[in-house]
Structure 1
């Protein structure tokens, strides 16, 4: 790579490539794969676990005093009180992977005092490496990437993800999907949210929205988008999407138009809404929100919390320019 990279980003890249090698080897013989169910339509394989282990081993070898928040092992490894937290999804798109559908990736983010500073998303099938450091831009392999310049939602290609877990509000999703689909040029749903966010950063998509995502799905991609000149928030355009488990992203113009459509569908996620998706930690089972909040030294929102009405970066836009 031509530009000099931050040492912590170099470690993230090393870890992501090691995990990608494990995933690529396993993809050659999917018949031998051992698959377990975390819940209906929610799978974990020995590949997820092996990839996560090599990522955490690589990180802790370099930074033994850092904290870890990982999809499969929660916070069971690493320091518990560090200001540095590595947020790891070893295989985003597991369902695609076990079917041999080649859209999946490794996602690694490093947060310092709650702010994502370094991000890597590695697509082992295509050997595509997306990476970003806060304040230094976003890259795909050696090429600087930027969000698209399309200004009208009617011309936009929009990515999404379908709800698939028990308890997801399918009817609510279908209504918003129908409204977005009729307002844009096309909707795509490949099935790996971390890659979807990188596709927004690279300008492949003009926008993206999804509900029910976990912090490790979003953390790396969120930095990729902001460093590529895009915006990311919850459905009302505010920045607490990690807790609300709803996310919308895009270039500034498309983001604004998506927020206008999606704002009526926002909801505050209560802790007990995701009780079935507990993350194992040393203190027992907690929800993803609680685990992330504890890891980042923040408080998860109270069950009856209302959406914050602080400054909104992008409010309702006037009609799109012709």
Structure 2
């Protein structure tokens, strides 16, 4: 097995290990604490799941950098070397409300570029994996949709706008509902991006600066499934980009136009 293949294996092993911890505590009345806002929450399950995922990674690659949402891990992706990006429970707000749309996510990167990713959603019994051969859900290949009619497309105003930026949130929703057939808000960024990869949604737009644990794995899934992800200028999206436009590839220009309406006063 090559080292790159081994890293793919470890993304899956670590994500599944963290997901088991989180799933064992799901719907058990676990307490939540708020972080930056009243809907931005964290639980003991987040911390426990992250520790479990890190243990798996450290046993295989003890010297690699780790970027994680919780506690004292790095908060930015290193520009050089190997690193791992972990979100122990993406969709914690769903998790604490006993909504099944949440997941444990692990991505492996080299010199800032993703090489593999796993999104494990045990409450939905779905696991998505992206590697150099493509993207799968539960072991079966997936692909983005071929919808090219905006009026038939389902698109999400994505990520989270702070309370003092809700005018932008409103404009994002308006841009979507005026241009496309329907809108979705899932409450879990990685589940949203996985849904674009598997063809159940056509796209997502945001103008905010995103976190790597909310995006890198899902962006990798979309690209390996045949889709496209850019910044607001149409340039290839990176982990440090501001804004994110993800599509099935067929509707990307329409999504770019919609995304660039968000910040307009």
**Kept in 1: contact 2:159–2:189 (CA 8 A):** no
Q: 5+ residue gaps in structure 1?
A: 268-322
Distance in 2, Cα, partners of 1:98 & 1:34:
8
Find 1:161's aligned residue among 158, 162, 165. 158
| Deviation (angstroms), 1:76 | 6.0
- In structure 1, the partner of 2:200 is 204
Matches within 5 A, 1:1-322: 6-30=5-29, 33-41=30-38, 42-75=40-73, 83-134=81-132, 136-161=133-158, 163-167=160-164, 169-212=165-208, 213-240=210-237, 242-265=239-262
Q: Which has the higher strand share?
A: 2
1:252 is paired with a residue whose SS is coil
Distance in structure 2 (CA, Å) of the matches to 1:99 and 1:158? 24
Distance 1:81 1:227 in 2: 22
Mapped partners of 1:159, 1:100: distance in 2: 22
Deviations 1:31-72 (A, max 9, x none): xx1322212221110000000000011101110011100001
Contact 2:46 2:89 (C-alpha < 8 Å) held by counterparts:
yes
TM-score, L = length of structure 2: 0.90
Cα distance, 1:245–1:82 mapped onto 2, change above 3 Å = closer
Q: Distance in 1 between matches of 2:146 and 2:218?
A: 19
| Range with greater deviation from structure 2 (146-155 or 68-77) | 68-77
What is the SS of the residue equivalent to 1:54?
Answer: helix
CA distance in 2, matches of 1:133, 1:163: 28
In the alignment, structure 2 segments of 5+ residues that lack a partner are none
Larger radius of gyration: 1
Relative to structure 1, is the Cα distance of residues 229 and 175 closer, same or farther in structure 2, using a 3 angstrom cutoff?
same
Post-superposition offset of 1:209? 1.7
